[in-house]
Amino acid sequence: MTDTALQFLPNLHPYDVLPKATLGAIAKRVKVIDIAKGATVYDVGDTLQGLYIVVSGSVCVRDDAGHEISHLQSENSFGERGLLRNGVAVTSACAEEDSQLICIPPDVFHKLRAEHDPYRRFFDRTRADTTNDAALAFDLTSVRVETLMAPDPMTCAPSMTIRDAAKLMRDQRISCLCVTEEDALVGILTLRDLSGKALAEGLDYSTPVAEIMTSAPRTLPPSAIGSDVLHMMMEHRLGHLPIVSGQTLVGIVTQTDLTRFQASSTAGFVAEAAEAQTAEGLAEVTKRIPNLLVQLVAAGNRHDVVTRMITDIADVVTRRLLTLAEEKFGPPPARYVWLACGSQGRQEQTGVSDQDNCLILEDELSEAALAYFEPFAQFVSDGLNACGYVYCPGDMMATNPRWRQPLSVWRDYFQHWIKSPSKEAQMLASVMFDLRPIGGDASLFEGLQTQTLEAAAANSIFTAHMASNALTHATPLGLLKGLATIRSGEHRNTIDMKLNGVVPVVDLGRMYALQGKLDVVNTRARLEGAIAAKAVSQSGGQDLLDAYDLVAQSRLDHQAAQIKHGKAPDNFLPPAELSAFERSHLRDAFVVIKTMQSALMQGRGMLG
């Protein structure tokens, strides 16, 4: 037991910063436990025997409702939340396969926290003593992947033998190898591949890695955030996620890297949605989103983090419905990509969202193949509606034959809109520039997006029309730049925080992206990209970012307050409910937005 701990702990943070004498003392007190697949480590309410660390195998951790929140592998630890409270387990843990664990007794755990600051900071910072899942999510959602990932991961060539790969992984004490060709990621090899595919099948040691690796693995860019990693891992049951910039491998995130962060409540939504068997089952998940929004806002999460997490759930629901549709109607007769536009496309969904989507199909389809996608689209759209993503009032959905066409037709659409920028063309182009692939074959869209951005940016008449269209949404300012409210009707004496608040900035962001040929669709990312590309001045761009943050956060706070009071959320904020301080700052934000609109119309795109 002592030998196992002494071999394992010195290479694991935060034990790697402890004195050798302390590690020796720990090794004498720990227990090494072998646990069989399916056996319970502990249940909710049990008195914890200590802090557990996975040496080998895999452990599933569930919350008190039975929802999966973590799949832990070698070097992951668990049980600290209960230890940091009263020693009673607040989760349950079960071995997913034969596993070996190290158990550090509670008194040793607390002594280490009391005497070694790095050890205390590691656990206190990452697992706050709270039962609020949204608060636990805050750290993770604030961290960009580039700060989570291990840079320069160990790689190998596809031709390396599985024996050499196993030796390399053993010597480097790592659980995976990224397989590359000229810096481009082509696959990933994990310990599970070696055991489940090579050892179990009795493959010759000279077998090349290419025969057992996972080809074209799922990846994320460095600009993603921690919750993106967690959600992808939970949805697809991944233990390792390569990080790529363009086609170049720049890092990797593993379950070990996420150990310091307790799984957020959205991960439970994602896991449930990914396993739902019916649209009704998905609706049971999404009906809890309003309460989730309240929790996330209350935890202090920034508006763009909240809307990104809410949108993540919509994305998983959509992909699950696509899978259910394929099971219902049979394998698709052709390649397709399902895309979202509007707020889902921009990853900006709040508590009020309809559905805006379309289908791009591969070219040269038969009539029978085209016919397959009509009920297919209807099934997915109906399922989204049942889940609370109501039908688009403007019928901009894949159920409309106009928005369910082969790639060549879509290419013609965009070319026509750019060459003949009518009022309808401007409106349609505005919506379609926010497209984001959700499911299917994303390669069908990549070329179209690049070509369209190039053509649109090169057409000065089109961009001028788009700029004019972007100014149709006025900010709610009166003649003396006071707040102007709606004067009559159901929403009298309120401000439409969507149409007159967020949308003007969305329009500006879209124009900056068009001018700078930026392929991002998220509004905040577009504004940041415009500043970096000097499409706007540093001061003007930063002022606009600050103004957008204030307006978007005010809108989200308003919705959260309505939900807490048992009301359906909307976008209509009564200024009378704000303090004089809040009204003043909101007015200043609208002044900045209006100034930037004027600058765009004058062709400057900058402030001051």
Beta-carbon count within 10 A of 278 CB: 13
Of 356, 362, 317, the residue nearest 339 (C-alpha): 356
* Length of the chain in terms of residues written: 608
β-strands 176-181, 155-156 pairing: parallel
The Cα 584–Cα 115 span in angstroms is: 49
The per-residue pLDDT for 604 is 47
Beta-carbon count within 10 A of 398 CB: 25
The Cα 606–Cα 602 span in angstroms is: 10
Beta-carbon count within 10 A of 526 CB: 26
Mean pLDDT of the region 462-487: 84
Written as six digits, the tokens of 415 are: 């070319």
Q: Which helix (H) or strand (E) holds 120?
A: helix 117-126
The alpha carbon of 47 is separated from its chain's Cα centroid by a whole number of angstroms, namely 35
Choice among 37-41, 235-239, 291-295 with the minimum mean pLDDT = 291-295
Report whether 56 contacts 169 (CB < 8 A). Answer: no
The Cα 184–Cα 549 span in angstroms is: 37
Written as six digits, the tokens of 261 are: 């962060």
Written as six digits, the tokens of 462 are: 């089109």
Report whether 342 contacts 431 (CB < 8 A). Answer: yes
How far apart, in Å, are the Cα atoms of 33 and each of 53, 79, 526, 527? 10, 15, 51, 52
**Residues 492-543 pLDDT 10s:** 999 999 999 999 999 999 999 888 888 888 999 999 989 988 888 888 899 9
Report whether 352 contacts 558 (CB < 8 A). Answer: no
Q: Residue with structure tokens 């996975």? A: 54
The per-residue pLDDT for 41 is 96
Extended strands (E) in 408-449? 436-440
**506 burial via Cβ count (<10 Å: 0-12, 13-18, 19+):** buried
Question: For residue 103, is pLDDT > 80?
Answer: yes
Is residue 94 very low, low, confident or very high in pLDDT (cuts 50, 70, 90)? very high
Question: For residue 135, is pLDDT > 80?
Answer: no
The per-residue pLDDT for 516 is 83
Domains and CATH numbers, the chain: 1-125 (2.60.120.10), 145-255 (3.10.580.10), 265-452 (3.30.460.10), 465-604 (1.20.120)
Mean pLDDT of the region 275-284: 91
The Cα 44–Cα 66 span in angstroms is: 10
The Cα 335–Cα 444 span in angstroms is: 8
Beta-carbon count within 10 A of 471 CB: 16
Q: Following DSSP, what letter does each residue of 291-318 receive, concatenated?
A: HHHHHHHHTT--HHHHHHHHHHHHHHHH
Choice among 98-102, 195-199, 225-229, 487-491 with the minimum mean pLDDT = 225-229
Is residue 143 very low, low, confident or very high in pLDDT (cuts 50, 70, 90)? low
Question: For residue 429, is pLDDT > 90?
Answer: no
Q: What separation, in Å, do the N-terminal and C-terminal C-alpha atoms of the chain show?
A: 68
The per-residue pLDDT for 137 is 40
The Cα 412–Cα 396 span in angstroms is: 18
Question: For residue 132, is pLDDT > 90?
Answer: no
**Residues 340-351 pLDDT 10s:** 999 999 999 998
Mean pLDDT of the chain: 86
